[in-house]
Amino acid sequence: MKKRWIAAGLLLFGGVLSAISYYFWDVQLMYYCQGLNRSLVGAAEIITQAGDSLWYFILLVPAFIVIRFVWKNEQWSAKILYLLLCISLSGILNIGIKWLTGRNRPINLIEDGVFGFDFFRIIFLYETTSFPSGHTVTAFALATAFSFLYPRWSFPAFLIAVMIGLSRVVLTAHYLSDVIAGAVVGVICSLGVKYLFDRFYIELNESV
């Protein structure tokens, strides 16, 4: 029940904050970021790579296979499965929301003067749909998962997630509201997967 209330609160708070950002902050912040120092943009280009879910699949899928079927360590394989499900389900939900909202990216405003949403876009082009930020979804899904698996690492995990999200704004790849929504989606998905693991009594932490 606690996770449900947390998810509901996050959804409400994130929705309100995203709406405020959309109407008051997004465009101004995007134009500001266009004039940022090149060294800062270069740092953001490096940081943003950590939000690409492909790297985690490349690392975690082989690790799961080896640990589950070769080493036969059920607890560690459960942890990796949890991480994989958090990334996968949050990514699927992210794609669905992108198609549903069809929001134009900052580049569409810069080059064509187009801002806003094109709901239920029939021709779905992942590269041109902005809401929510996929890198941010992945980053916050993993940060939330790590906070369950290793509570002591919660702060650095979320700090890295915030940096990844902000890097998307600095690079004008996304608006701030896209990042806010991405953070909410990532957290809620990991809470949902943890809820399912609890329901099926799958232990993720060492028994004390």
pLDDT in tens, 84-132: 999 999 999 999 999 889 899 999 999 889 898 888 764 555 566 899 9
CA distance linking residue 10 with residue 23, whole number of Å: 20
CB contact at 8 A, 17 and 176: no
Total domains present in the chain? 1
Q: Is there a domain that residue 57 lies in?
A: yes
Query: Rounded to an integer, what is the distance from CA 25 to the centroid of its chain?
Result: 20
* Percent of residues, the chain, with pLDDT higher than 90: 77
Which residues face 129 on adjacent strands? 104
Q: Is there a domain that residue 193 lies in?
A: yes
* Percent of residues, the chain, with pLDDT higher than 70: 94
The pTM of this model reads: 0.93
Indicate the pLDDT class of residue 4, thresholds 50, 70 and 90: confident
Q: Is there a domain that residue 206 lies in?
A: no
Select from 108, 89, 118 the least CA-distant residue to 174: 108
Tokens found for residue 208: 């004390």
Task: Write the single-letter amino acid at 170.
Answer: V
CB contact at 8 A, 30 and 177: no
CB contact at 8 A, 154 and 42: no
Place of tokens 């916050």: 140
Using DSSP, state whether 202 is helix, strand or coil.
coil
Strands of 105-152, DSSP E:
none
| Predicted local confidence at residue 156, as pLDDT | 97
Q: What does the radius of gyration of the chain's CA atoms come to, in whole angstroms?
A: 18
| Predicted local confidence at residue 126, as pLDDT | 55
Range of the domain at 32: 2-199
Indicate the pLDDT class of residue 163, thresholds 50, 70 and 90: very high
